Amino acid sequence: MVPAFLGEDMTLICRKMSNCNLLCYSRIGSIIKRKYIWEKNMKKRRISYRIGSIAVIALFELGGICLIALANIPFKNPYIWWKAWGRDTASNAGTTILVAGIISLLIEISTLKNFFQDSMKNILNEDFPFSAYSEENLVNFKNLISSYLIGNTMSKEELKKDTIYSYEDQLLQLAKGKYYDYHRAEYTVYPDEEKEMIRINATIDYRIINKEGEKNEIRFKTKSYALKDTQDSFNLKKLTINRQEVETKNLVKIERIDKQEESNFYDYKVKIEKDLGKIKKNDVHIEYEYWVPMYDKLQNYKITLPCRNLVHRIRIKNNWELRGSAYTAFYYRQGEADAKYKIEQSLPDALSINFNGWIFPGAGYSVYYDQKKCEENEK
């Protein structure tokens, strides 16, 4: 006899198998949930048991005290049995119960203390009821812990107001916000002495992470104090987002800078803005070219978001050379073998800026261009 399923459509068979898997996962999830609820109920029962045990011991203690007090009451006409053995029996029994109760109470209190300590460890590791506390209390608790971790050398108020720890709130906001997973750039600089201009070709690749699904966009900006207010000074050659090429027409905006509000040095700014939606990961590729006057020999760059890893390479042509300097928080000395933040330069016309670790917004570098000196002048 042929099994029934051999005559069924394969789609129907797969659907049945999928439904079976879903049923299994549902049952496993239900079992895990019931186990979790059972463990929480058992914790509550153990607490109730401990408290109940202490209450019983306290009642025995009270009974022992009552027996001792009864044995010491001077009755006027006591019964014969009370004088013969009742008083001594009550006194001995009361003393025994009292001593046993004290010992039991000490043991129970010690056990209860250990139990609560273990429970607190579990709460701090797993199920701390954060929602049961106000934000003010949680912040206070956090600052107390931080003060303890540095050896209680200052109060939590001093730590928050009088030290760099005052930036801790901003750091938490940066931790939950957007950041660059990597940021790569290649710049090639072409000085043109006849035109008295410098042409810069640039290629930038980066990945921007948006875990919280916030509003996100490409926000490219560069400044110059010689760009004309025309599109000819800046050429956006290519823009791709997640390997999809984007139409670049009308994306570039060149605006004159308000000297009082933005810069006393530069005249124009170039902006590229493109909405990225709320996608949690975007890979961006940009190619562009722009011109600056020959006297604009300083190239500055600052990162605008936290960045996990940054590598920028710069080359200059036509018998020119360049020098650079980088800046960031926690900048390590160049000479250290394991330095995470450094400028590497083996030739006078090329250098690489390497930030192999987290950098804060505002970190960056400056590169200065200059003509190579003749050997005769050097002598």
Tens of each residue's pLDDT in the chain, 379 residues: 444 444 445 444 445 444 444 444 444 445 444 544 555 555 555 555 555 666 666 776 677 678 777 777 777 777 777 666 777 776 777 677 767 767 766 666 666 556 566 655 655 555 667 777 788 888 888 888 888 888 888 888 888 888 888 888 888 899 999 999 999 999 999 999 898 889 999 999 999 999 988 888 888 888 766 555 455 678 899 999 999 999 988 888 888 777 655 555 677 788 888 888 889 999 999 999 988 888 889 889 999 999 999 999 999 999 999 999 998 887 666 667 677 888 999 899 999 999 999 999 999 999 999 998 765 445 4
Q: How far apart, in whole angstroms, are the C-alpha atoms of residue 178 and residue 175?
A: 8
b/e code 35-63 from CB counts within 10 Å (16+ = b): eeeeeeeebeeeeeebeeebeebeeebee
